[in-house]
Structure 1
Amino acid sequence: MPHPGWDSFSFDGIGTAWQISTPAPLAPAVRTRLLQAVEEYDVSYSRFRPDSRIAELARAAGTVTLPDHAERLGSVFRTLHRLSGGSMTPLVGGSLEQLGYGADYALVPRGPARPAPPWEDVLHWEGSTVGCSEPVVLDVGAAGKGQLVDLLAETLRADGIAHYLVDGSGDMIHAGPSPLRVGLEHPYDPAQAIGVVELGDRALCASASNRRAWGDGLHHVLDATTGRPVDTVVATWTMAASTLEADALATALFLVEPRLLEEEFEFDWLRVFSDGRAHCSQGFEGALFT
């Protein structure tokens, strides 16, 4: 969503639509650096392109070197893997492909749901070095887009741009003199909102089972220990200082009780369940419509 009254730079990247809003138009050189950052991220982490760095690990056991920011990404995944008892893991890519969500976008299951392999058995992620003892399909989608939002915000700040809204199809970070009013998309009707939040100098991310859904009961949020889609929680929203953490926690809320996540992360949250119930943290700065 564009920031009202600000100039907007729109483009596509990592398979989704982006809008970057700033008080004044971005210089061509800044736009080029933003697009380069998106391309670098995609060629590092995409499981949908054969020339990406992590695609090498899907073809054969071995080791790849990723950009320096992979250390932070790996740390967040490792923590949430521990808190979720293995339900959330970057090794879920093979389980998604088993259900039809692969690089060919067949969207037809290859067979029964398949759990992801245990992290400790096959994956070594130390800093920016990632290795595997057997071919694995990594998927960092539960946190990667959020991290890219942060990286684009860093690019803007490096060019002296202090006020901005970086919006990666609903995963966003805001910095500005006044809060931005953001609607919370209805999990069953994208044309409607179930509430609003005031976003000011924070990140906001959402995850919902209606996004990237195909077939009967098939969607992208899986319990990696079973390989099956989660069917109890249908939508989550999180607000945090970084979009990386907000994005990762929005997925984690499908799998982990909020009280456990709050022991290690500072964030606010809202969860909507399949039976219509909604729960939120005490500090969630939003209002739900009745």
Structure 2
Amino acid sequence: MPHPGWHNFNFDGIGTSWEISTPAPLGPGPRSDVLAEVERYDSTWSRFRGDSLVSRMSARPGHFVFPAEATSLASLYRILYALSNGAMTPLIGGSLEQLGYGPGYSLQPRGAAAPPPAWDDVLEWRGTSVTAKTPLVLDIGAAGKGQLVDLLAGVLRGHGVTEFFIDASGDLLNSGNTPVTVALEHPYDSSKAIGTVPLGTGALCASASNRRAWGDGLHHVLDGTTGVPVRTVVATWAMAGTAMEADALATALFFVSGEVLERHFRFSWLKVFSNGSAEYSAEFEGTLFT
């Protein structure tokens, strides 16, 4: 709990656990609207649900109209796709399913790793308008959970709730000015921390190759140019004004240097490599344990 005496609203959504902390208990109205927004988002973007819009797109090519949040996703992904030279792509879903991380969670590779198609060869995504030239597995997982955090913050503010702390299994958003000390999970031992960082107003998101791992060296952070899991970086943290940006930038740090990303985004960051070394921005005010 970020603040002693605050009240928690816990629920499951988009395949993970959530906790919203507020000074006063959330009433039935805000709770109901929060859960409805989670269901709406999941029914659109989940590639694990057969009834989702994304699943329909994976079954047949054509033109699809997505909800309003697709516009900011498209622009963010387009920038990061370019900066990473195609390594970070919303088309990575097919490569993940090839390695066993798909509906049904077989966790059994169907064959050798395979890169997704190039964006401009198969996909036109302008705002809410999406045209697939072939059946495509759209995967916005690198930014989606963060975006849903921001959307739920909007739901809370719509009910007049201005003070809150949202924890979506490690994707954090603090609406208040009082900093919350956050432990930075050890990339090889989730029971330990490698340091701490104070989170004031804004978001902190992490990405780590140990979070969703299976098989022999397989995990969910794939290089879009090869379809193979990233090996050199093991964990990243990004702090930004919105959870969507922090979430996406935490993944982008696996492929792009923090210095390059800082030319395009206002954020601070920490990156830990497989050899045990670390890099971080001047603005990342955390404490790393020795």
Q: TM-score range by the shorter chain?
A: over 0.9
Mapping of 1:39-188 within 5 angstroms?
A: 39-188=39-188
Distance in 2, matches of 1:252 and 1:163, equals: 30
Letter aligned with residue 228 of structure 1: V
1:24 aligned to 2:39?
no
Give the letter aligned to residue 20 of structure 1.
Answer: I
Shift of 1:177: 4.0
Cα distance in structure 1, aligned partners of 2:165 and 2:93 = 30
Q: How has the CA–CA distance of structure 1 residues 5 and 64 changed in structure 2, closer, same or farther, with 3 Å as cutoff?
A: same
Q: Equivalents in 2 of 1:214, 1:174: separation in Å?
A: 32
Q: How many angstroms does 1:54 deviate by?
A: 1.1
Cα RMSD after superposing both structures = 0.8
Specify the SS of the correspondent of 1:54: helix
1:218 is matched with: 218
TM-superposed deviation, 1:186: 0.4
Q: Contact (CA 8 Å) 2:2, 2:180: kept in 1 or not?
A: no
- CA distance in structure 2 between the aligned counterparts of 1:3 and 1:221, rounded to whole angstroms: 33
Contact residue 174 and residue 199 of structure 1 kept, 8 A: yes
Q: Structure 2: any 5+ residue segments left out of the alignment? A: none
CA deviation vs aligned residue, 1:228-268 (integer Å, no higher than 9, x gap): 00000000000000000000000000011112111111100
For 1:73 and 1:133, locate their aligned partners in 2 and report how far apart those are by CA, in whole Å: 20
Residues 2 and 8, structure 1, Cα contact 8 Å, conserved in 2: no
TM-score by length of 1: 0.99
Letter in 2 for 1:209: S
> Which position in structure 1 is the counterpart of 2:10?
10
| Cα deviation code 1:97-156 (max 9, x no counterpart) | 000101010001100000010000001111111110000111110000000000001111
Segments of 5+ residues of structure 1 without an aligned counterpart are none
Asked if residue 273 in structure 1 is aligned to residue 273 in structure 2, the reply is yes
Aligned partners of 1:169 and 1:2: how far apart in 2? 14
In structure 1, what is the Cα distance between the partners aligned to 2:7 and 2:66? 33
**d(CA) in 2 for partners of 1:267, 1:44:** 29
Deviation at 1:5, TM superposition (A): 2.3
Q: Comparing 61-70 with 14-23, which one deviates more in the overlay?
A: 61-70
CA offset at residue 193 of structure 1? Answer: 0.6
- For structure 1, which segment, 271-280 or 55-64, has the greater mean C-alpha deviation from structure 2 after superposition? 55-64
CA offsets 1:47-80 (integer angstroms, 9 cap, x no match): 0001001111110101211111110011101110
SS of the residue corresponding to residue 151 of structure 1 reads helix
CA distance in 1, matches of 2:241, 2:193: 24
Please identify, of 3-12 and 247-256, the stretch whose mean Cα deviation from structure 2 is larger: 3-12
Query: 2:236 maps to what in 1?
Result: 236
Is the 8 Å Cα contact of residues 203 and 246 (structure 1) preserved in structure 2?
yes
Runs of 4+ in 1 over 6 A off after TM superposition: none
